Amino acid sequence: MTTEALVQQIKLKKSFLCVGLDIDLDKIPQHLKKEADPIFTFAKDIIDATHKYAVAFKPNLAFFESYGVEGWVSFQKIMKYLNFNYPNHFTIADAKRGDIGNTAKRYAKAFFKTYEVDSVTVAPYMGKDAIEPFLSFEGKHTILLVLTSNEGAENFQYTLENNEFLFKKILKKSLTWEHSNRLMYVVGATKANALLEIRKIVPDSFLLVPGLGAQGGSLKEVSNFGMNDQCGLLVNSSRGIIYKSQGSDFAAAAATEASNIQQEMAYYLNDKGIV
């Protein structure tokens, strides 16, 4: 999915919502556990219920890997379901990979070719050798971890070097890599104040913003500080949507929560003059 197509979907749906698929079998409704593939069934029902309000879906790979082979099978089924039934939705493999050389190439091939996702999250610690193999895939996007919501983010991301925070150095350096136009960036919703500084460095790039809802991020602040003329945001909500109810009405409850977020997003898009 191209950036242009993503922007079109944002304008069409008046939404920049990304639904995170962090599927925990301990949290899904009890009746689904009798299914042959409860992970896929739960994901399918969530996708069907929320697709009208979302422009992206983000499976979190840790939640699939933890179930072994069965989890990987479920992930592949989910990707096939999304690509066949909802091809206008941007897909993100939240894998946070970060290695160099042939290993990075294999990671990239796995997600972009085998599982056919539009994008994958990667860690920048090992530098361009770990990122450029992902960027070599035309029509795909690489989402670089830059500034995250967790408490430990300050251990490294706010380290000063020559009076400049490390996360800013990463942003600037990434713009020198081959095919840097295929980059997007992760910025945690709880770091909304930093979005103004980030936008000075990458004014036109898309930002994936997790941390809405359960982690306490503010959609209003993220929109005010991070939105550009094309929106340029994908704001993710996972637990706040998919586990809104753990009863038989889980899909309807997820749809209601996604609709509420979409309506707020529509207000900010209209206020910015994007729709």
Active site residues: 96
Beta strand 160-161 with 164-165 is antiparallel
Q: Angle formed by the axes of helices 68-85 and 38-50, to 10°?
A: 30
**What's at 115, amino acid-wise?**
Y
Helices within 24-165 (DSSP H only): 38-50, 61-65, 68-85, 101-109, 128-135, 153-156
- The pair phi, psi for residue 38, each rounded to 5°, is -65, -30
The label of the residue with tokens 């989910």 reads 78
Nearest to 258 by CA among 7, 11, 21: 21
For residue 92, what are the β-bridge partners? 119
d(CA 175, CA 166): 15
Tell me if 255 sits within 8 A of 49, measured CB to CB: yes
d(CA 9, CA 112): 21
Q: Cα 267 vs. chain centroid, distance in angstroms? A: 22
Strands (DSSP E) along the chain, which ranges? Answer: 17-21, 56-59, 90-97, 119-122, 141-147, 160-161, 164-165, 183-187, 207-209, 233-237
